[in-house]
Amino acid sequence: MALTILKGTVISAPALGKLDVTERGYLIAEEGKVTGVFPVLPKRYAGAAAEDFGDALILQAPADLHLHAPQYPMMGMGMDLPLLDWLNTYAFPTEARFADPDYAREVYRRLAQDLIANGTTRVCMFSSLHRRATLILMEELEKAGVTGYVGKVNMDRNGAPNLQETTEESVAETLRWLEECSDFRYVRPMVTPRFTPSCTNELMAFLGRLAAERNLPVQSHLSENTAEGAWVRELHPDCTQYWETYAKYGLWNGRTVMAHCVWCDERERRAMKDAGVTAVHCPDSNQNICSGVAPVRVLLREGVKVVLGTDVAGGDTLSMLDAASSAIRASKARRVMDNWGTDFLSAAEAWYLAASAGAAFFGQQPGFAPGNSLHALVLDDSRLLQPHPLTPEERLERCLYVRQPGAIRAVWSAGRKVFSAED
Ligand code: GUN
Ligand code: FE
């Protein structure tokens, strides 16, 4: 791992809406950490072996900050119901299958490999409530080179007969899972109350204390769907807004990621900004299960941290390139809904959210900043190239919009080469 030199057209997103481009340049990492991007090879590396990808694009590997691993077997199916019916009819029966460790092993091995083949090297991921399957998921991610956080899901009410824990089971299994996953290096645990309707107050209070005591990050869902929001208000008459049901149990802070945030009003958005909570925009899922169109531009303008997620299997693709173009489309739908009062996302902005903003949750600086852990992919778009030359910025935009099977040629995660299309 000591020295990595990658040659190609290096594009990174150092700030929202800005791209750094070095055509036929060198991305260099030492001991897995980025040294820098150079237009010519610095003298001190003369003679060192470089991997030359010609004119292919070298991009930051993106981060998927919200997806459900046990819903992978139903990806692309069952999109005919709104959230709460969709959970009961499709998601819960699918997740219940993960009581079987062999089933879990087979699905999770494939999922981990498919994530890497899509260039996703960092995740915040929901497992199911099953402790054993969650450990299998963590093993398979770690083996494939996916890094980040995984949560054993907690749900002690409003589940299904074969997909629900008692409060005592949820507490005991969570504690045991934390003990059993303590040796993982790249995949770490995250506290995961499924969403407010799935957790009793007692369980929420336990999870809040656990997160504080063990300094663990938290993930859940927030204001995804209007029926869900009304249900949360019924369950918590003492809270005027959804976010307060997390805040009152200590589940609302700078290490919290909340998926969707479609229906957050100004006060809820301010609560996110003030606490440093990260909003995970999941545009494919929001459209597939008719949740709505998240106000992504307004969240950004008001200073809320925004990242992207696929929300598989509300989402129908693992590709964060697809998620980025979907975020642009959603922002355009929102612009129409807002009477042209909000601007849509540019390709550079969407890619910043997928790559740099996601990496920021893992303590990284934007772009290929020196010192960042090397997370990169090589994208060979030569089959799309025109007889006339395109700018690197045009090429990136096309790569977000146009699906190109097999175009990802190689992937590095935490400094390690974890995928090569030649293998
Ligand atoms: N809210 C609670 N559980 C889920 C889930 O599995 N998917 C989505 N999209 N929203 C949820
Ligand atoms: Fe989700």
- Nearest ligand 1 atom to the CA of 228 is 1
Calculate how far, in angstroms, residue 213's C-alpha sits from the geometric centre of ligand 1. Answer: 27
Q: How far is the CA of 416 from the centre of ligand 2 (A)?
A: 29
**CB of 244 sitting under 6 A from ligand 1:** no
- 268: Cβ below 6 Å to ligand 1? no
For atom 3 of ligand 1, which residue has the closest CA? 194
What CA–CA distance (Å, rounded) separates 348 from 316? 23
Q: 280 CB less than 6 Å from ligand 1?
A: no
Residues of the chain with pLDDT under 50: none
Indicate whether residue 194 lines ligand 1 (CB < 6 A): yes
Which ligand sits nearest to residue 70's alpha carbon?
1
Give the separation between CA 184 and CA 152, rounded to whole angstroms.
15
- Would you state the pLDDT for residue 339? 97
pLDDT at 41: 97
Closest residue CA from atom 8 of ligand 1:
314
Determine if ligand 1 sits within 6 Å of the CB of residue 195.
Answer: yes
195, 257, 291, 312, best to mutate for ligand 1 pocket (most atoms within 8 Å of CB) = 195
* Atom from ligand 1 closest to the CA of residue 91: 6
Among all bound ligands, the one having the nearest atom to the CA of 193 is: 1
pTM: 0.98
The phi, psi pair for 339, rounded to 5°, reads 55, 45
Asked if residue 197 has its Cβ within 6 Å of ligand 1, the reply is no
The residue whose CA is least distant from atom 7 of ligand 1 is 314
CA 311–ligand 1 middle distance (angstroms):
8
Measuring from atom 11 of ligand 1, which residue has the nearest CA? 221
What's residue 423's pLDDT? Answer: 82
What is the per-residue pLDDT for 1?
A: 58
Spacing, Cα 269 to ligand 2 middle (Å): 19
